[in-house]
Structure 1
Amino acid sequence: MRVKKEAGGKLVVCSERPAETEELGKVLGGILQPGDLFFLSGDLGSGKTLFVRGVTLGLESAETATSPTFALIHRYEGELPLYHLDLYRLSGPEDLAPLALEEIMEEEAAFMIEWGAPVKEIWAGPYMEVEFTRGEKEEERILSFHPKGERYQEINHSLWLALNKEHTTGM
């Protein structure tokens, strides 16, 4: 796994295989705090759910993440509860009302939202945007972490430190 910091606090991680994408999520799971919100964007099959599965491992959840496309929302219990939403089938903010997001977002939990454009249209607070793109090799993925707010710049810095420590100690 290769990691680099860029201007504006952006963090770019190159994962060479699925296990590294999952491990990256696991490391992030150990950093998350209540209220942390992540929007995950990328093509189908680009590693978003695999990454969230790693986050559930890092939060020591009783179960690991699966694609919530049909249920829309999954809640995973762990050291910190995690809500995983997949809004692929929603067309806009008007489709959000039945999900009761306002109530869910008040909980002491972290949030990972795939296909979150409908929420981003109405969300005024800080968040992290994580873009998943395919690399040159078949299993390679590039994850770009774009912080929107001070807390998310701190997360990127903590993630960068943790990944560099892992790389130098061979963990």
Structure 2
Amino acid sequence: MKSIVLKSPQETLNLGEKIGFILKPNDILLLTGELGAGKTTFVQGIAKGLNVKDFVTSPSYSLINEYEGTYHLFHIDLYRLETLSQIEELGITEYFLKDGVTIIEWAEKMENLLPKNGIRIKIEYAGENKRKIWLPLEFQALIK
């Protein structure tokens, strides 16, 4: 993994959009990072890259939001869930089999259930308006 420091929310959106352009059906993004790290902003950029017309919001209370774009986008937020059994009851692993792109915020909460082909991305707070994002090899060409 390689990291990049983004200096504004707009840079976070722009990187997300670049990633959204290259995603394909059945890609699963596993996002980790503290509260306020910028995960939802990053997902908003990805949605733009996937041609989602709706405004993307955090599904912290609904838990799962679905959007139409180039592909279906399934945006899952596990922040409010505390146990693995709560996650299992929601049937989140069924989204791994759906034809679309799945993005899970707070993916570390379901570590034992995560698919092997999941693409891990870590987002850290790096100062006012700055974020450090750790990207896997398949996305590193986007940050040159």
TM-score of the pair, normalised by structure 2: 0.91
Partner of 1:138: 128
Distance 1:107 1:124, change over 3 A: closer
Shift of 1:90: 1.2
Q: 2:142 aligns with which of 152, 162, 166?
A: 162
Q: 1:127 aligns with which of 97, 118, 123?
A: 118
Q: 1:36 aligns with which of 13, 27, 39?
A: 27
Shift of 1:108: 1.0
Structure 2 contact 18–142 (Cα < 8 Å) conserved: yes
Residues matched between the structures, number: 144
1:82 counterpart = 2:62: no
SS at match of 2:31: strand
Is the radius of gyration larger for structure 1 or structure 2?
A: 1
Shift of 1:161: 2.7
Cα deviations by residue, 1:66-98 (Å, 9 ceiling, x for unpaired)? 110000000111001111111011122211233
Q: 2:45 aligns with which of 32, 41, 54?
A: 54
SS at match of 2:37: coil
Q: Which runs of 5+ in 2 are unaligned?
A: none
Identity %: 31
Higher relative contact order (CA 8 A, sep 6+): 2
Structure 2 contact 95–102 (Cα < 8 Å) conserved: no
Distance 1:20 1:129, change over 3 A: same
Q: Which runs of 5+ in 1 are unaligned?
A: 1-9, 148-152, 165-171
The amino acid across from 1:93 in the alignment is: L
The amino acid across from 2:106 in the alignment is: W
Matched residues in 2 for 1:67 and 1:40: separation? Answer: 13
Identify the range of structure 1 (10-19 vs 118-127) with the bigger mean alpha-carbon deviation.
118-127
TM-score of the pair, normalised by structure 1: 0.78
Cα deviations by residue, 1:85-118 (Å, 9 ceiling, x for unpaired)? 1101112221123322233221111111111223
